[in-house]
Amino acid sequence: MRLQNKVILITGSGSGIGKATALLFASEGAKLVINDLNEQHGQETVQQIEAAGGEAIFIRADVTKPDEVSAMVDQIIAHYGVIDVLFNNAGISGVGVLHEIEPEAWDRVINVNIRGVFLPSKYVIPHMMERRSGSIINMSSCIAEIGLARRASYAATKGAVLALTKSMQVDYAPYGIRVNALLPGTIMTPFVEDYLKKSYDNPEEAIKGLKKRQLSEELGYPEDVAKAALFLASDESSFVMGSPFYVDGGVVFG
Ligand code: NAD
């Protein structure tokens, strides 16, 4: 068991990558805190973990709201006493060329994808500092490093998360806290299906085009990212700090 008894909070784990990661972590002995805006999806993740013999609780909280995030962290500490790993995974898509994006839509993407990393980190880190131990995984994207069409607001957020990760790592290394970023390529989740539907008249053709950009010639699945997250969450990655960790089928070289 690579995560035996570790208490792990994964934001946005009612769906996609967060859910696949929660299921994998639970199978490796972790005690999961499933967070999501969507209560039904979050509870389904908990049920699947419990059905497989694992341990999990669900806490509904909006990662952009300080009161809700702070209360969630207090609840976890009251329940488990510690938080060993924080995976800042929750995020939303943003589609469009810059001059067509409405200011409100811009703010929404910036808010969830950047503030949604800031707030859980802000409230979890003091507990990790006290124990001089912890691993934080921030969800960036390969888009932080390559240009992709019609993703201006989203790209801005994922570049920011990568920069934030490096800054956090420098600040919190003295407290025994590791902070790394995951940079997935195109991973087939509800999030990507939504983006493809909104962006292309023919999503099937778009998928073929995306595959051609990959060295792997295939797109990824949530489980591919979950396996990388498992490494970053576990003590096996104890020498990995402030790293941009690619899980992208080589798209940054395509
Ligand atoms: P998804 O839509 O399947 O899951 C995201 C989850 O986050 C949803 O369950 C949603 O309800 C939750 N969420 C959204 N806003 C929230 C909020 N304010 N508070 C709490 N929960 C909230 O998406 P996914 O594809 O699994 O994406 C997960 C993360 O991975 C995102 O940060 C995304 O940007 C990133 N990512 C995805 C891909 C990809 O190709 N799928 C690639 C690179 C990075």
We report the CATH number of the domain holding residue 48 as: 3.40.50.720
Residue 248 maps to a domain = no
What was the pLDDT predicted at 31? 98
| CB-based contacts of 160-166 (< 8 A; 24+ apart in sequence) | 160/113, 160/114, 161/88, 161/113, 161/114, 161/117, 162/138, 162/244, 164/114, 164/117, 164/118, 164/138, 165/138, 165/140, 165/242, 165/244, 166/242
Query: What is the position in ligand 1's atom list of the atom closest to the CA of 63?
Result: 19
Residue 246 maps to a domain = no
154 catalytic? Reply is: yes
ipTM score here?
0.99
Q: Within 10 Å of residue 150's Cβ, how many Cβ atoms?
A: 18
- Domain total of the chain: 1
Select from 35, 36, 117 the residue to mutate for testing ligand 1; criterion: most ligand atoms less than 8 Å from CB: 36
Residue 195 maps to a domain = no
Q: Which residues of the chain carry a pLDDT beneath 50?
A: none
What was the pLDDT predicted at 254? 76
Query: What is the position in ligand 1's atom list of the atom closest to the CA of 157?
Result: 34
Beta strands at 85-88 and 55-60: parallel, antiparallel or unpaired? unpaired
What was the pLDDT predicted at 199? 82
Q: Are the C-beta atoms of 63 and 120 separated by less than 8 Å?
A: yes
Could you give the 3-state DSSP secondary structure of residue 116?
Answer: helix
- What are 231-247's pLDDT values in tens digits? 999 999 999 999 999 99
What was the pLDDT predicted at 195? 80
Residue 93 maps to a domain = yes
As for ligand 1, residues whose beta carbon falls within 6 Å of it are 11-12, 14-18, 35-38, 41, 62-64, 89-92, 112, 116, 139, 141, 184, 186-187, 189-192
- For residue 159 the two structure tokens come to 């570049």
In this structure, what is the dihedral angle of CA atoms 81, 19, 108, 157, given to the nearest 10 degrees?
A: 90
* Residue 7 β-bridge partners: 31
Query: What is the position in ligand 1's atom list of the atom closest to the CA of 41?
Result: 9
Residue 30 sits at φ, ψ, to 5 deg, of -80, 155
- For residue 229 the two structure tokens come to 């997250």
Q: Which DSSP symbol is given to 220?
A: B
Q: Are the C-beta atoms of 22 and 85 separated by less than 8 Å?
A: no
Residue-range definition of the domain harbouring residue 82: 7-189+221-241
Residue 2 maps to a domain = no
Residue 251 maps to a domain = no
Q: Compute the Cα dihedral for 69, 12, 229, 3 and give only its sign.
A: positive
